[in-house]
Chains A and B, each alone.
Chain A
Amino acid sequence: MNTVLSRANSLFAFSLSVMAALTFGCFITTAFKERSVPVSIAVSRVTLRNVEDFTGPRERSDLAFVTFDITADLQSIFDWNVKQLFLYLSAEYSTKNNALNQVVLWDKIILRGDNPRLFLKDMKSKYFFFDDGNGLKGNRNVTLTLSWNVVPNAGLLPLVTGSGHMSVPFPDTYETTKSY
Chain B
Amino acid sequence: MLSLDFLDDVRRMNKRQLYYQVLNFGMIVSSALMIWKGLMVVTGSESPIVVVLSGSMEPAFHRGDLLFLTNRIEDPIRVGEIVVFRIEGREIPIVHRVLKIHEKQNGDIKFLTKGDNNAVDDRGLYKRGQHWLEKKDVVGRARGISNGTRES
Q: State how many angstroms separate the Cβ of B87 from the closest Cβ of chain A.
A: 15
Quick check: is A154 within 8 A (CB to CB) of the other chain?
A: yes
CA–CA, A97 and B61, complex, Å: 36
A154-B145, A157-B144, A159-B81 known; A101 vs B102 contact (CB < 8 Å): yes
Q: Chain B interface residue count: which class?
A: 20 to 34
Interface centre among A90, A98, A102, A154 (most CB of B within 10 A): A102
Quick check: is A88 within 8 A (CB to CB) of the other chain?
A: yes
Residues of A within 8 A of B14 (CB): none
Q: Which residue from chain B places its CB closest to the CB of A111 in the assembled complex?
A: B59
Cβ A98 vs Cβ B112 within 8 A: no
Q: State how many angstroms separate the Cβ of A1 from the closest Cβ of chain B.
A: 16
Cβ B60 vs Cβ A127 within 8 A: no
Cβ A149 vs Cβ B82 within 8 A: yes
Cβ A56 vs Cβ B112 within 8 A: yes
Cβ B145 vs Cβ A157 within 8 A: yes
Cβ A55 vs Cβ B82 within 8 A: no
Residues of B within 8 A of A107 (CB): 116
Quick check: is B46 within 8 A (CB to CB) of the other chain?
A: no
Cβ B79 vs Cβ A102 within 8 A: yes
A56-B123, A157-B142, A157-B144 known; A98 vs B104 contact (CB < 8 Å): yes
Chain A, 104-118, contact with B by CB distance < 8 Å: what is the 0/1 string? 100101010000000
Cβ A102 vs Cβ B101 within 8 A: yes
10 contacts between A and B (CB under 8 A): A56-B123, A97-B104, A98-B102, A99-B105, A101-B102, A103-B79, A104-B79, A147-B80, A151-B61, A154-B147
Chain B contact residues, CB within 8 Å of chain A? 59-61, 78-82, 97, 99-105, 110, 112, 116, 121, 123, 131-132, 142-147
Chain A contact residues, CB within 8 Å of chain B? 23, 27, 55-57, 83-84, 86, 88, 90, 97-104, 107, 109, 111, 127, 132, 147, 149, 151-157, 159
